[in-house]
Amino acid sequence: MKRQATISRRTKETEIQATVDLDGTGTFEIETGIGFLDHMLEQLSRHALIDIKLRAKGDLHVDLHHTTEDSGIVLGQAVAKALGDKTGITRYADVHLPMDETLTRVAVDVSGRPYLIWNVTFTRDKIGEMDTELFREWFQAFAQNAGITLHIQNLYGENNHHIVETCFKGLARALRAAITADPRQAGRVPSTKGTLSV
């Protein structure tokens, strides 16, 4: 069964469409109008091996908040839809992601129970044109709409670019492992309840 999905969302603030293929090769076509966010979503695609096409038009003349948050919403919904009933997935995964002087720990449970723990601080207000407070908003929106429990903790680091990049790459690698088919599950949902639903 192909694990693919397309989600469209249109509001007075944004118009976004995202298509994902969870069993892809990490190819991407991403255009949000926010250069640094594009760069981070490209990292997510490449390192999770999830093909992502995402186009967003937002009220960037106001600020970057709505486009950032809504792209997380739409991408999360697309991932959730592509996962279906989550039959046969590994479900849990974690990674320690290094980048030069920075180390970040990311753990996921593809549980249908959305939750975010965000232990990440920045020493700058902006990276590129993005307010650093917007990164938590993106991860919150993604976790909530993908239906995953997501814990992110930056253990140490000095460069703010490296810190946020390890968060996205860490999510990518952990998500890649968690949604991979576990041959020992033999087509079962990985829960004694028999279901993993939002």
Q: Quick one: pLDDT at residue 97?
A: 98
Residue 76 lies inside a defined structural domain of this protein: yes
Q: Quick one: pLDDT at residue 196?
A: 58
Residue among 121, 156, 158, 157 at smallest CA distance from 136:
121
Q: Quick one: pLDDT at residue 26?
A: 98
Q: Quick one: pLDDT at residue 195?
A: 63
Residue 63 lies inside a defined structural domain of this protein: yes
Q: Quick one: pLDDT at residue 184?
A: 79
Range of the domain at 13: 4-185
Q: Which residues contact 161 (CB under 8 A, 6 or more apart)?
A: 127
Residue 86 lies inside a defined structural domain of this protein: yes
**3-state SS string for the chain:** CCCEEEEEEECCCEEEEEEEECCCCCCEEEECCCHHHHHHHHHHHHHHCCEEEEEEEECCCCCCHHHHHHHHHHHHHHHHHHHCCCCCECCEEEEEEEECCEEEEEEEECCCCCEEEEECCCCCCEECCEECHHHHHHHHHHHHHHCCEEEEEEEECCCHHHHHHHHHHHHHHHHHHHCCECHHHCCCCCCCCCCCCC
Q: Give dist(CA 48, CA 157) in Å, integer.
A: 23
| pLDDT tens for the chain, residues 1 to 198 | 799 999 999 999 999 999 999 999 999 999 999 999 999 999 999 999 999 999 999 999 999 999 999 999 999 999 999 999 898 899 999 999 999 999 999 999 999 999 999 999 999 999 999 999 999 999 999 999 999 999 999 999 999 999 999 999 999 999 999 999 888 777 766 654 556 564
For the chain, the domain total comes to: 1
Residue 193 lies inside a defined structural domain of this protein: no
Residue 190 lies inside a defined structural domain of this protein: no
| Residue 11 C-alpha from the chain's centroid | 21
Residue 196 lies inside a defined structural domain of this protein: no
Residue 156 lies inside a defined structural domain of this protein: yes
Q: Quick one: pLDDT at residue 178?
A: 97
CATH of the domain at 159: 3.30.230.40
Q: Give dist(CA 152, CA 195) in Å, integer.
A: 25
Residue 198 lies inside a defined structural domain of this protein: no
